[in-house]
Structure 1
Amino acid sequence: MYQVPDYNQTVSMKLSEVLADIGVDERIVMKRRRTWLLMESIQNITLQQLNRNDSAYIFGSQSEGTTTIDLQSDLDHIYCNKDLPIIQDWSDWIPGVNNLLMIQDNSISPGYCLLQRLRSDAPLPEDGESNQYLFKDRTGKLLLKNFIVSLLNINLEIHGPAGFQQGQQGLSDIDFVYALHCTTWPQQARQWLDQQGEGQWPSAEMKQYCSRTGCFVVGVGCRGSEHEQVEWRISTSLAERCLMFNLNIIQIRCYVLMKIISKTFINPLFKDVITSFMCKTVLFHCISNTHNNIWRENNLLSCLSLCLYLLYNNIIYENCPHFIITGNNLMRGKISPAVKPYILEILSNIINSAGVAILGIKCDDLGSRLQHKFYNLCTIKTSDIISESLLFSLAVHIYMTLKKINHHLKDSTCSPNEAVEILKNYVSKTINCQYEGLDKTASHLLLPWYCTTLGSVLASLNIYHYNTVSADALKLISLGLNTDVASSKLKLASILYCVQEIQKADTVLSEIERRYDLQIVEPVCSCYQFERELSRQGFFDLCDNHNEEDLQYITASCVRYLQCEIHCVPTELRYEMFRSTQEDRMFRTEEDNNWMDCAVVDSLPYLYFLQYKVHSHLGRHDQKQAVLFKLIRTIKEEPNLGHRETALNLLGKCI
């Protein structure tokens, strides 16, 4: 039986407790994974609705559950186009499409490939000359250039093959990577499927699953290669996700500790020399080559030392082999002779410190938390902060998804009748598709929003033609009333007000105010980036033990009206749809700022504005003055309004 010395065991147990306190435990890891995979499902359903032949994937430490608050890990969003199928064997050629043949030979850097253009009418190479997208090499092959990321119509900073978008306060930064997908396992990685280390990990079942995931190719060449402009990097991210999801909590904690150590001791001096992906790869190699019984909670310190020692050896030889494509050296050209001895000295000191070096880590207060554990002092857990961030991120993601749909509907060529048909198609697709698992949950989150918008557009047409609202429109709106606390219900109240159903509007508004708990409900707006303050304590408290189903009780999205909904909007708010000039449009990106041609208002100010109008119609002077003061107080005191100027405009109309 493997024995652990008492000191090692004591430090390991205390360190495990600290990591659990900062969110590296089974519950929070699974919560992170569920949230980000749900967002991935929402993206893919939306791409289907927009008839885009793309798939979306969310990778990175956030979606793996292998991060902490202070690590501030970013997200890797991969958008994969299906219009250019990649094959590795001529027998897989598909007629009628632009096939690309993946070329992997000795002239290509390990972990990279070339993509040769093939004819669409016969399984033969395409014949032609070099152009903007293709390069003809010395042997006559037409190769696809790897600058395809520049074709993305996104207003992002470009970092190699990726676009970058800085997150709003409290949200993660995002790398957008444009990729192509090959459904078959890369030749360079086929040997890995038959290898088996001492630890018998990954299992045969895991490898079989990985082989079915195929691979991505990303538009970046190996630095210094003669083929750099036409090489594509092979990515096995889906297989790596499978491996990460099959780690136990001690292995995850070991990986998180490696990243914290790198962030604390190495990156401030030698930025990006040791990457998170290198740490992950080192962990994979360690697990594969050790018996499973060492990865226990009371042996965490030894497991960490084992990983750091392997990393130390990799740096000595300047070779960190990719776990799946072993010929690909992740450290190639990364470590200069000048910095190498310093990094080795840092790692040596940490390894030989027997855990003492960890006491100096300020990231997530890891060092001070560990000291408190030895003195049996209580430490603050961060699970509520993490849960709040996840649930709020999901709410923002849903709203940003609806922005994409609204952008499609807002197109100037789209008439109200055409908008109705498009929205009916969205609703029909969402209902008829036999979604399962998280896809089913995602569809249930999106469907009420589609119903509300469709009902509102129909109501606008009804009001324009008949000055009344049809039963079909009201039924659709009723199906979407529980998207959140207020926004969809406010659309119903606004419609009732516009057709002079004042008493019914008053009843709906009273119900909204009853449900809108000012100590809990958090405003959600993702129309543009602005500095948010911390969410209210009640929201924090509820998030830790709630999931996506509870967004309808604790969030209030801003209310957005498209121009095809104009007759459902009070006159005072309609002016917001016409705030833009031609000059404005020249200096903004439509994808990010399409809300500027809509009427958009935060839920709480809109609630009080509508109540003011209703009370005026009903002759309730005292109630009218009371909600006016509530509107003023909200504009002055609510820190997270996204459309304060619109609320001020409505206040001005009231006064």
Structure 2
Amino acid sequence: MESFLLRIGNGLQHISESLFVGMCQMVGTSKQVAIRRETADIEDMLNRQLNTNGKVIRMLSGSHREGFRLKGSDWDYMIWLNDHRVIIDMSQYCNTANTTLILSDSSESPPGFALLELLTRSRYGVVQLACITMNDRVYISSSTHRQLICSSVIPNSVEHGPCGSGYIAGTLEYDTAWSFVSDCWPPSASSWIDRCHSWPGPEVVDDIIRNGIHFVAIGHPLGPHTNEEWRISFSQAEYKIVNSMNHCQFLTYGLLKLFLKEVMNQQSEDTNKLLCSYHMKTTVFWAIQQNTLPHWCPQNLLAGFWVCFKLLLKWVYEGVCPNFFIPQNNLFLTKIHGPAQNRLFLQLHELYKNGLACLLQSSSIRSYIIDVLYNPTLSICTDESTLRSQVDYDVDLVTESAITIVSMHTTNLFHFNKAMHTIEQLVYSPLTHYQAVTMQNFTATLFQYTAFQLQNLYTNTVCNKQLYIADKISRQMLKLAAKFGCVSDMLYIAMYYYKTLRYREALFVLEMTKVKLAQPYLMYRGLVDRERYTEAVGGQSWSTKMRQAVAYNVSLWNRIGYISDLLLEQQSALRDKSKQILFIPVFVMLHFLEFLCYRHVDTTLSQAALDELQVLVHHDQGQLVDDINRDITWEILGICQQITGNLQAALFSYEQSLTQYPFSNIQTATHKRIQDILSQQ
């Protein structure tokens, strides 16, 4: 098989095309990648504009920001204080009461690293606590800052390089790098600007320089101030450069990432941690900029991979992997040297001797090569429009938009005008279709959030006129949100009516919602009957699709009271600073609200709603209830059973809730409810 692959000559183009199709299926088409990037971009834009000075800015970075959704990849975030700025030299010093100034001093540090001298006092406690004095100057210690962030700011995290690392739902890994931002381009990276003759283009280069850099909390292991130094991070620049790749170049990068994981890192335990995804990215950057391959196209995908692999092999042989922005910064310096370097080179050289047949060792890639080998006349179409249907893109857009909305910071009621002004500006800016959809979802969420906050604010007012006005505005906001939102957004109206004792109005809304949720073409949790969805809403505007055929989980911001029956759970969740939102499966919330409202109207129908909820909780096989939301699902069933007086059933449900993965962080509430039952027996 392998010798045959080496002799097929012109067949390499055919295999390249097959592999291009396979990579589009595994990594995504250019349109799918655009959806992922553009929804992340609008999140970044909103976060920056809605957070004023003194607030924390969070930005998605790493492979997810670049557009990858490979299995097992972690989520990377860059976080920085918006009122702290790093300057490169004292000529940029400006005396301002609103900004903490930090001076970058790279005079004694290896290339790509610097000491950060605190010039003006910080109002942020962690920064002050991380300060040390050297030569009568105050510096921020990277190691101390990192330790303080992991111990007090990011709960349940451990140090991982410059990041605090942890897990969501037990399996989804995240890395959060707290950093300092600089608007200045470092002199040590000036040679990169001179190298950019053809790629990336001048507009990209100007944009990168204008947006500056970050400093992340890790020093050079061989530097004179390892515990104090900070590393220059070009994360924003790298994202913009990846964005400037054509899709074949991006898929080559993805192919290298897969090959690293499934082949190179499987050679031996001695070498499986020496190379990382960042080395693959650096390899692709250099290969493209050096114009090693004139045409990056589907027919040349294998040629592009081979160019990059040979460059990587050369670097391992020499023990030098030059940072793309600061070539003097050798990324191999601390790990790939001596015996380890020799072992790694021999292993990679064995793969090299096999030629492109080494790709057969990849479980993900192998089938796309073998299919062509056994069917040399197989017709392969590399037109991306044939690889994915519109339904696939709709699913992607729903998924990415949901991730974006729930990751945004909550907006204070008193900042509502600012938020609306920001939205108005963005609506009239040149948004892409995908960004417009995300803005639409965000606006609906903002209206829902504000409506309940407004109602809570005026609940205890002595002025009936104020209460009447607040109630009217809240209802208008919720109806407007449902008008351009999705099916599940109607449940917020029902919640509001229940909260304000309008049970029949709530039940009317619930009945309409129930009919829509029962439609066979509903898109929920990325699952959809494609044929029925296409028949029902295919060709319709996205707004129509949202109103008629899309549902999300219900999101309750834990700092706002929605319904009294869940306040205990929301208060429990707030014990974890990262749990801003309580997610409830939409069908669970539907039956829960039906049960609560019918108790005041018709006890028989109330019991029927409880029966439906019980069947859903006990017998759902992961179709309508996410595994990670089963703790709150059992909890809600227990609440309903406790209200009816069925204490034994409620006790069982609460105990079941405690056995689930504690994603919602409601254990304190569950234990209290159990104690309440036990005290009644």
Tell me if TM exceeds 0.5.
Answer: yes
Question: Tell me, which stretches of 5 or more residues in structure 1 are unaligned?
Answer: 121-129, 410-420, 525-534
Q: Of the candidates 538, 553, 561, which is equivalent to residue 529 of structure 2?
A: 538
> What is the DSSP-based 3-state SS (H/G/I as helix, E as strand, rest coil) of the residue aligned with 2:338?
coil
Question: 1:363-409 deviations in whole A, cap 9, x for unaligned?
Answer: xx31023212333479997998897577435424423536x55xxx7
* TM alignment of 1:608-623, pairs within 5 A: 608-612=591-595, 621=604
* TM alignment of 1:334-345, pairs within 5 A: 334-345=335-346
- 8 Å CA contact retained: 1:23, 1:382: no
User: 1:489–1:350: structure 2 CA closer, same or farther, 3 Å change rule?
Assistant: same
> What is the DSSP-based 3-state SS (H/G/I as helix, E as strand, rest coil) of the residue aligned with 2:23?
helix
- Give 1:308's aligned residue: 309
* TM alignment of 1:325-336, pairs within 5 A: 325-336=326-337
* TM alignment of 1:289-300, pairs within 5 A: 289-290=290-291, 293-300=294-301
Structure 2 residue 319 is the aligned partner of structure 1 residue 318: yes
How far apart, CA to CA, are the structure 1 residues paired with 2:340 and 2:371?
35
Structure 2 residue 414 is the aligned partner of structure 1 residue 422: yes
Q: Of the candidates 239, 242, 248, which is equivalent to residue 241 of structure 1?
A: 239
- Give 2:192's aligned residue: 192
How far apart, CA to CA, are the structure 2 residues paired with 1:593 and 1:286?
43
User: 1:83–1:349: structure 2 CA closer, same or farther, 3 Å change rule?
Assistant: same
How far apart, CA to CA, are the structure 2 residues paired with 1:113 and 1:93?
18
Q: CA deviation at 1:259?
A: 1.6
Question: 1:590-648 deviations in whole A, cap 9, x for unaligned?
Answer: 3135668xxx7543233234434555655595x55654442222222333252222133
- 8 Å CA contact retained: 1:388, 1:539: no
- Give 1:137's aligned residue: 134
* TM alignment of 1:397-416, pairs within 5 A: 397-401=404-408, 404=410
How far apart, CA to CA, are the structure 2 residues paired with 1:55 and 1:305?
40
User: 1:7–1:79: structure 2 CA closer, same or farther, 3 Å change rule?
Assistant: same
- Give 2:38's aligned residue: 34
How far apart, CA to CA, are the structure 2 residues paired with 1:322 and 1:540?
49
- 8 Å CA contact retained: 2:263, 2:361: no
User: 1:619–1:290: structure 2 CA closer, same or farther, 3 Å change rule?
Assistant: closer
Comparing 472-481 with 314-323, greater Cα deviation is found at: 472-481
User: 1:520–1:159: structure 2 CA closer, same or farther, 3 Å change rule?
Assistant: farther
How far apart, CA to CA, are the structure 2 residues paired with 1:392 and 1:160?
30
- Give 1:56's aligned residue: 58
Structure 2 residue 207 is the aligned partner of structure 1 residue 225: no
Structure 2 residue 582 is the aligned partner of structure 1 residue 590: no
Comparing 438-447 with 310-319, greater Cα deviation is found at: 438-447
- Give 1:632's aligned residue: 614
How far apart, CA to CA, are the structure 2 residues paired with 1:547 and 1:518?
18
* Superposed CA RMSD: 3.9
How far apart, CA to CA, are the structure 1 residues paired with 2:16 and 2:570?
60
Structure 2 residue 445 is the aligned partner of structure 1 residue 449: yes
> What is the DSSP-based 3-state SS (H/G/I as helix, E as strand, rest coil) of the residue aligned with 1:347?
helix
> What is the DSSP-based 3-state SS (H/G/I as helix, E as strand, rest coil) of the residue aligned with 2:335?
coil
> What is the DSSP-based 3-state SS (H/G/I as helix, E as strand, rest coil) of the residue aligned with 2:132?
strand
- Give 1:21's aligned residue: 25
> What is the DSSP-based 3-state SS (H/G/I as helix, E as strand, rest coil) of the residue aligned with 2:184?
coil
- 8 Å CA contact retained: 1:84, 1:99: yes
Question: 1:7-57 deviations in whole A, cap 9, x for unaligned?
Answer: 332332222222223234322222332233344345445545xx6533332
* TM alignment of 1:174-573, pairs within 5 A: 174-195=174-195, 200-268=198-266, 269=268, 270-290=271-291, 293-362=294-363, 365-376=364-375, 388=395, 391-392=398-399, 394-401=401-408, 404=410, 421-422=413-414, 424-425=416-417, 428-431=420-423, 434=426, 436=429, 437=431, 442-459=438-455, 470-482=471-483, 485=486, 487-497=488-498, 501-517=502-518, 519=520, 521=522, 536-538=527-529, 553-558=549-554, 560=556, 565=561, 569=563
> What is the DSSP-based 3-state SS (H/G/I as helix, E as strand, rest coil) of the residue aligned with 1:202?
coil
- 8 Å CA contact retained: 1:47, 1:54: yes
- 8 Å CA contact retained: 2:111, 2:188: yes
Q: Of the candidates 625, 633, 637, which is equivalent to residue 647 of structure 1?
A: 637
TM-score by length of 2: 0.76
Structure 2 residue 605 is the aligned partner of structure 1 residue 606: no
- Residue-pair matches, total: 593
Structure 2 residue 13 is the aligned partner of structure 1 residue 9: yes
User: 1:478–1:382: structure 2 CA closer, same or farther, 3 Å change rule?
Assistant: closer
How far apart, CA to CA, are the structure 1 residues paired with 2:350 and 2:393?
32
Q: CA deviation at 1:217?
A: 0.9
> What is the DSSP-based 3-state SS (H/G/I as helix, E as strand, rest coil) of the residue aligned with 1:274?
coil
How far apart, CA to CA, are the structure 2 residues paired with 1:338 and 1:263?
22
How far apart, CA to CA, are the structure 1 residues paired with 2:69 and 2:379?
19
User: Could you tell me which amino acid in structure 1 is paired with residue 476 of structure 2?
Assistant: K
How far apart, CA to CA, are the structure 2 residues paired with 1:483 and 1:12?
44
How far apart, CA to CA, are the structure 2 residues paired with 1:305 and 1:382?
28
TM-score by length of 1: 0.79
User: 1:482–1:60: structure 2 CA closer, same or farther, 3 Å change rule?
Assistant: farther
User: Could you tell me which amino acid in structure 2 is paired with residue 136 of structure 1?
Assistant: T
User: 1:426–1:117: structure 2 CA closer, same or farther, 3 Å change rule?
Assistant: closer
User: 1:564–1:298: structure 2 CA closer, same or farther, 3 Å change rule?
Assistant: closer
> What is the DSSP-based 3-state SS (H/G/I as helix, E as strand, rest coil) of the residue aligned with 1:338?
helix
User: 1:400–1:637: structure 2 CA closer, same or farther, 3 Å change rule?
Assistant: farther
Q: CA deviation at 1:267?
A: 1.7
* TM alignment of 1:94-105, pairs within 5 A: 94-96=94-96, 97-105=99-107
How far apart, CA to CA, are the structure 1 residues paired with 2:137 and 2:557?
52
- 8 Å CA contact retained: 2:592, 2:640: yes
User: 1:69–1:519: structure 2 CA closer, same or farther, 3 Å change rule?
Assistant: farther
> What is the DSSP-based 3-state SS (H/G/I as helix, E as strand, rest coil) of the residue aligned with 1:99?
strand
Question: 1:208-261 deviations in whole A, cap 9, x for unaligned?
Answer: 332222111111100122111221111122222222111122222222222222
User: 1:340–1:271: structure 2 CA closer, same or farther, 3 Å change rule?
Assistant: same
- 8 Å CA contact retained: 1:43, 1:401: yes
User: Could you tell me which amino acid in structure 2 is paired with residue 33 of structure 1?
Assistant: R
Q: CA deviation at 1:164?
A: 1.6
How far apart, CA to CA, are the structure 2 residues paired with 1:166 and 1:181?
26
- Give 1:529's aligned residue: none
User: Could you tell me which amino acid in structure 1 is paired with residue 366 of structure 2?
Assistant: G
User: 1:592–1:193: structure 2 CA closer, same or farther, 3 Å change rule?
Assistant: closer
User: 1:627–1:216: structure 2 CA closer, same or farther, 3 Å change rule?
Assistant: same
How far apart, CA to CA, are the structure 2 residues paired with 1:520 and 1:165?
37
How far apart, CA to CA, are the structure 1 residues paired with 2:576 and 2:69?
34
How far apart, CA to CA, are the structure 2 residues paired with 1:353 and 1:545?
49
User: 1:542–1:174: structure 2 CA closer, same or farther, 3 Å change rule?
Assistant: farther
How far apart, CA to CA, are the structure 2 residues paired with 1:591 and 1:188?
39
- 8 Å CA contact retained: 1:391, 1:547: no
- 8 Å CA contact retained: 1:210, 1:242: yes
- Give 1:417's aligned residue: none
How far apart, CA to CA, are the structure 1 residues paired with 2:311 and 2:557?
57
Q: CA deviation at 1:501?
A: 4.2
Q: CA deviation at 1:283?
A: 1.4
- 8 Å CA contact retained: 2:110, 2:223: yes
User: Could you tell me which amino acid in structure 2 is paired with residue 331 of structure 1?
Assistant: F
Question: 1:111-146 deviations in whole A, cap 9, x for unaligned?
Answer: 1112223358xxxxxxxxx995333334x4432221
Question: 1:272-309 deviations in whole A, cap 9, x for unaligned?
Answer: 31111111111111112225624232222222221111
